[in-house]
Amino acid sequence: MRKLLTIMRIASILTYMIIRLALNSTIIFMELYEAKLKIKFKTRIYEWKLSRKLEEYGIPREVSKRISKNIYKREVEALNNLLSLKGIMEIMRKQTHI
């Protein structure tokens, strides 16, 4: 009888630990997914702001959207250069397919 109770206690403890581990890993994956969504949302906002900035300099909307998407896909640090007209012209020279 004692052996059976001991086995049942060990089984219940193991079950509890497995359920707890599964819940913890689910929570971790949910937090990672949420962080990924936040980063994606911020990137879209920056793309939108950048395309608006390019439109202010007279660059057509479709071209400015393409430039801003290419920047965030390839060279994020180029955002600092875009505060000036010189930076915009350099990026337009890089975009030879426009």
pLDDT confidence band for 73 (50 / 70 / 90): low
Q: Are the C-beta atoms of 69 and 51 separated by less than 8 Å? A: no
pTM here is 0.40
The structural domain count of the chain equals 1
Cα–Cα distance measured from residue 88 to residue 94, given in angstroms and rounded to the nearest whole number: 10
Question: H/E element holding 97?
Answer: none
Structural domain of 48: 2-94
Map tokens 């600092």 to a residue.
Answer: 80
CA quadruple 55, 59, 62, 67: dihedral positive or negative?
Answer: negative
Instruction: Render pLDDT for 32-65 as a digit per residue (tens, 0 to 9).
Output: 777 777 777 777 777 777 777 777 777 777 777 7
